[in-house]
Structure 1
Amino acid sequence: MPKYLVHFAQLHADFRLPELDSLAVLENVKLTYEKSAYSDEHPFLVVECESDDEARKLIRRSILTKQIIRLVATAPTYDEVLEVAKRSTDLIDECRGKSFKFELDAFGRTFDQETQIARIEPFCFLPCGDVNLKNPEITLAYIEDYGHSETAAARNPERAFFGVLVGRGDRGTVTKYDLKKRQYLGTTSMDAELSLVMANQALVRAGSFVLDPFVGTGSFLVTCAHYGCFTMGTDIDGRQIRGKGERSIRSNVEQYKLGGRVLDTVVADIAHHPWRATQLWDAIVCDVGFVTVPAATLRSLPTNFFLVRQPPYGVRAGAKKLGFNANAKPPPGVDGPLPALKKNGELRYPSTIPYEMHDVIVDLIDFAAVHLVPGGRLVYWLPTIVDEYSPDDLPLHPQFKLVSNSAQVFGKWCRRLVTMEKLHDAGSLETGECQNAALAEAASANPAHAKFREVYFGDGRT
């Protein structure tokens, strides 16, 4: 199969391969590569796929990929690359008479204009037609990789690549859904870039059904619906869903013209949900840890944006679920269960109790085991303490396989994007195999996400 160079964007290195692998599954692209040849220190990966059309399909909705190039030559030096290109009769025939553009790039170095000219001019042996910078028939790409070295040896590249550009990623969609442009968001709104990556890892596509059981201000509803699926969300805090005044999840849906895809939101918690015990959802996408928007992002937002700041919840105040608080005192004159309505006629909301992180994870996985279709994916964020984390901390389940586990580190703590895929139905499990996530959780006496809030606000916080 032809070889291609995947040129990743310079961010979220630990998420690159999981997104790429998920897109290969989503687009049904036969993809092979040597995982040992990839390093987070370099934004390049040489892969094999069947054709240029398949390569374009592979990255057309990728958020973490800049471009994909059909390789003509890769070698340690510029001169070696040039010699291989001169012997490529296929490339010469492909270029003959076509309008063209030449793109030059480097990792770990910046080229001045003189160097750029010196790199491009020797390729004049190619029988191309006129230069066309806006709409060329063929785009030639040359890249040098200098790595991260700051020594004198870095004056020479570690390797060089030359080929034909066949496709670009979907980086522009990040700008479209940028939080700075969104009418309604809160301190727990997930940034657009990672929300879109999650949609890709969840294999979201046109016609699929996606649930966010911790919907908050609806970031995942919007970004998943962008890809054509139908989305719904639930949250125990109805104030997050309703917003304030004209600012709400619904206003975001209208802003992006997604009214036909974002179906509705429901006030409920995952421990006491309204869904029938049936396989309905193709994907469940959520932020279990309710990690807040970085302070720098909040400071940069225009002042006319409505931010849900009170009451704080999630990491700041601890998750909640419906439950009876034995220490709560009943209103004066009330003996027995509380009436549904208050004396003033207002609806009385059920009482809540604390919901520890590890309990949330267990309930989420058990919920997904019942309500995801076979082949459906559960994609969720899990906050954890870096020094205490172990891969064994993640609860397993006989109906799921772990697809990926990527970390975004913030000093002493990090959040992990965990992707799991449902394998089969509970009815197909062999005798003795039908355990639930709670049993798997018990195998880890003290997982790193247990009591995360206490550690976050204690010595573990940075």
Structure 2
Amino acid sequence: MKYVFTFAASEFVNFRQVEFYSLLELCGIQPDADTVSNPDGDCWSRPYLVVNLADDEQAKLLIKRSVLIKSAYELWCDAPSITELMEKVSELPDTLASKYLGCSNTYKVVISSANRKMKQEDKLKIIEDVLNSHRTLDAKVSLQNPDYQLNILMDYAPQNWKERSIKGDILRHVYYGRLVGSSDRRVMLNSYRLADRAYLGNTSMHVGLSGIMANCGLCEGGSLVWDPFVGTGSILLAASVWGAFGAGSDIDYALLHGMGMSPKAGQGKRIPGECLRSSYRQYGLESRYLDVIIADAATLHRLLRTPGCTEQVSCSSTSVTVCNGGLFDAILTDPPYGFRESSRRIAGKELEREASLVSQDRLCEITGLPLPLLYSDEELKDELLPVPHDLPHFPHKEAYPLSESYHDLLELAVRLLRPGGRIVFWIPAVRSIFDGLQSLPRHPRLRLLGACEQVLNGRNSRFMLVMTKLFEGEPDEIKMSEDVYFPAIKLLPPTC
């Protein structure tokens, strides 16, 4: 059966294909050459997508948790113009009319358009013409509570489409069908707004993008998800909305413990108990919260070890980690890349510093011990005293180069992901010097499934990369496919 999916207006256009095929896998639907109509054309940049599915239930299941798909319709007929559509409506089988438009049914008709705002009188005229084209129409109209909703979907060319006429709008295609269901995207975007969240940071991920990452990571009930740069946990939270158990790590002690200033205007310091657990509690998801730890992502593999990991020499004479086991179903993360947050790691060498001098009262506060236990009476005559070196302290940190950061992240994914598990993460790009696939990080035991660009400004952008860990026996990935590379510029309609 043919169905029409409507996408959210020009929002994250080049993320659509990756999310769609990820949802197919989540629903256990095996795609084939006929699943998507005209997959090699510009269907992914258009507001409507025609797909072939088994039945209504499969369509509802597929779109339920989608962030980019709004609704699904059973496609009755479609045409390049209203006149041709009316001809096809008159040829619809009687079985369709008797099932949905019989005398015992009620219905209403809704018309919507993409890339053009239509006048109400124009809409009513089209609805009347289409209804009059039916050979039989015995159902009664019910605008408040109809049994079935019929939709006319108008696809107009966008303003900067190269074939657009100066004289007027161009109707590219029109679809006619029955509403099957709507996704929960609006519920998720409204219910989990960052502005309402108890625990927030300056770089908390957009709710919609977090949802896309969770879908691309195949996060579902019972999945175990890790974020090695967890921050305020906005990505983990999106995964847990769909039943996944969330855990992660971060090097920032103050952030994980809710210390310091809040990014919320007028709040000042963070309130006591402000942490990732409080966000989970806020949304009734605390049962899906595992824990977070303070750890350096560069050395995290020493803490979270997986049996069966070995070092092998690849064809390029470099050492490659191979691990046929795994702890996690998915790794979802947004590493700091220097735009708003600096990338740091524990320094490889200890930094020798002179002892800090503090007042006697401050030293008592730091140590929690009476001063006579630390210093002699002669030393206590000084106003400032050195802090003892054997006290607990934060390790010295150093800059973490991006190339090393992503190399370590992919190594971590190979060690910690189960075979078939996915890693979804972001990398920055300077658009003027970015060299496509050649600029993307890679690992021979990870297959690239999607690289989707989000333009940040005229100079910078970032890519969401989706990779899956290969199973034992699968050959190493030597070359990345251009079919999974989705830069933003390709999907923007060309200007006149």
Q: TM-score, normalised by structure 1?
A: 0.81
Counterpart secondary structure, 2:109 = strand
Using the alignment, how far apart are the partners of 1:177 and 1:134 within structure 2? Answer: 29
2:178 to 147, 164, 175: 164
Report 1:89-104 matches (<5 A): 89=93, 90-95=95-100, 96=102, 97-104=104-111
Unaligned runs of 5+ in 2: 259-269, 308-325, 358-366, 368-386, 480-496
| Cα deviations by residue, 1:154-181 (Å, 9 ceiling, x for unpaired) | 4341111111111212222111111111
Bigger mean CA offset, 320-329 vs 139-148: 320-329
Corresponding residue for residue 348 of structure 1 = 393
Are 2:423 and 1:378 aligned? yes
CA contact (8 A) 1:41 1:147 kept: no
In the alignment of these two chains, the number of paired residues is 402
Corresponding residue for residue 243 of structure 2 = 228
Letter of the 1:357 counterpart? L
| Cα deviations by residue, 1:221-264 (Å, 9 ceiling, x for unpaired) | 21110000101010000211111323221221111111100111
CA contact (8 A) 2:355 2:388 kept: no
Report 1:407-446 matches (<5 A): 407-410=453-456, 411-425=458-472, 428=473
CA contact (8 A) 2:351 2:396 kept: no
| Amino-acid identity (%) | 31
Report 1:297-308 matches (<5 A): none
Corresponding residue for residue 60 of structure 1 = 64
Bigger mean CA offset, 411-420 vs 156-165: 156-165
| Cα deviations by residue, 1:171-216 (Å, 9 ceiling, x for unpaired) | 2211111111112211110010100010000000000100011000
Using the alignment, how far apart are the partners of 1:153 and 1:73 within structure 2? Answer: 28
Are 2:442 and 1:396 aligned? yes
Letter of the 2:329 counterpart? D
1:429 deviates by 6.8
CA contact (8 A) 1:401 1:421 kept: yes
Corresponding residue for residue 364 of structure 1 = 409
Report 1:4-403 matches (<5 A): 4-10=3-9, 11-31=11-31, 32-33=35-36, 34-39=38-43, 41-89=45-93, 90-95=95-100, 96=102, 97-122=104-129, 123-124=131-132, 125=134, 127=137, 129-149=139-159, 151-152=165-166, 154-172=168-186, 173-243=188-258, 244=270, 245-273=272-300, 274-278=303-307, 279-289=326-336, 314-316=338-340, 318-325=342-349, 328-331=352-355, 343=388, 347-390=392-435, 391-403=437-449
1:140 deviates by 0.6
Counterpart secondary structure, 2:23 = helix
Counterpart secondary structure, 2:20 = helix
1:128 deviates by 5.0
CA contact (8 A) 1:386 1:413 kept: yes
| Cα deviations by residue, 1:397-435 (Å, 9 ceiling, x for unpaired) | 22211100000012211010000011124xx477xx699
Bigger mean CA offset, 88-97 vs 109-118: 88-97
Aligned pair in 2 of structure 1 residues 344, 257: CA closer, same or farther (>3 Å)?
Answer: farther
Letter of the 1:417 counterpart? M
CA contact (8 A) 1:232 1:264 kept: yes
Using the alignment, how far apart are the partners of 2:477 and 2:182 within structure 1? Answer: 45
Counterpart secondary structure, 2:419 = strand
Counterpart secondary structure, 1:186 = coil
Bigger mean CA offset, 236-245 vs 253-262: 236-245
Counterpart secondary structure, 1:185 = coil
Of structures 1 and 2, the larger Rg is shown by 2
| Cα deviations by residue, 1:37-74 (Å, 9 ceiling, x for unpaired) | 33554212222122222111111110101111121111
Aligned pair in 2 of structure 1 residues 88, 65: CA closer, same or farther (>3 Å)?
Answer: same
Using the alignment, how far apart are the partners of 2:75 and 2:275 within structure 1? Answer: 48
Unaligned runs of 5+ in 1: 291-313, 334-340, 441-462
